[in-house]
Amino acid sequence: SVVGLDANPEMLAVARRKSGQIEWLEGTAEALPLPNNGFDVVVSQFGFMFFKDKPKALTEMMRVLRPGGRLAVAVCDAVENSPGYGTFALLLDRLFGKEVGDAFRAPFSLGNAGRLHEICNEAGIADAEVVRRNGKVRFKSIDALVSTERACVWTLGGVLTDEQFERLLQESETALKPFVIDSGTIEFDMPSLIIRAQKR
């Protein structure tokens, strides 16, 4: 059995349309509405950087694991380690100022293994390991990448005007051209950091 959790009712509505094999619950990672010792595995994929109390969230994840259960928490590595997104962040700095660039950098804010170890230690998980895994980002076009970021409430959603997004798209065609592979597809590396731990 699989249980999914999100704090956003709209996201849950979308998720419930995707699969009938998952029980979806509304709640926060810092106060999981789940029993102690009930799960073999707990996974958090690219949400941890947005949790308000990260050590508390890890403590909760470990609480619901059975002894011997495994934890995996994935976050984006530093934006500088993702060439396409690093270029895009610098373009935002240049066009609209550092504040806008930093809004885009929010998902990459935990891209530091040392900081992740500190959070694990605060949560009482002294034997956690942090591993790096490389993945690829691929969009069918530069326009698709810019449109995706425009729609993202965690980054640029609501930050720029229509005119600014038009300018961003025009400038991106040049700045991101080195990452275009074939037929306009854009692709580049995007590494992640994964916290791994086991409940004793």
pLDDT at 152: 83
pLDDT at 105: 95
Strand partners, 75: 193
**Is 95 in a helix, a strand, or coil?**
helix
Integer angstrom CA distances of residue 159 from 8, 143, 168, 170: 20, 18, 12, 18
**Is CATH 3.40.50.150 what the domain over 34-198 is classified as, yes or no?**
yes
d(CA 162, CA 93): 18
Contacts for 124 with CB less than 8 Å, ≥ 6 apart: 59, 62
Tens digit of pLDDT per residue, the chain (200 long)?
Answer: 999 999 999 989 999 998 778 999 999 999 999 999 999 999 999 999 999 999 999 999 999 999 999 999 999 999 999 999 999 999 999 999 999 999 999 999 999 999 999 999 999 999 999 999 999 999 999 999 999 988 887 788 888 899 999 999 999 999 999 999 988 999 999 999 999 999 99
Helices (H) and strands (E) in the chain, counts: 7, 6
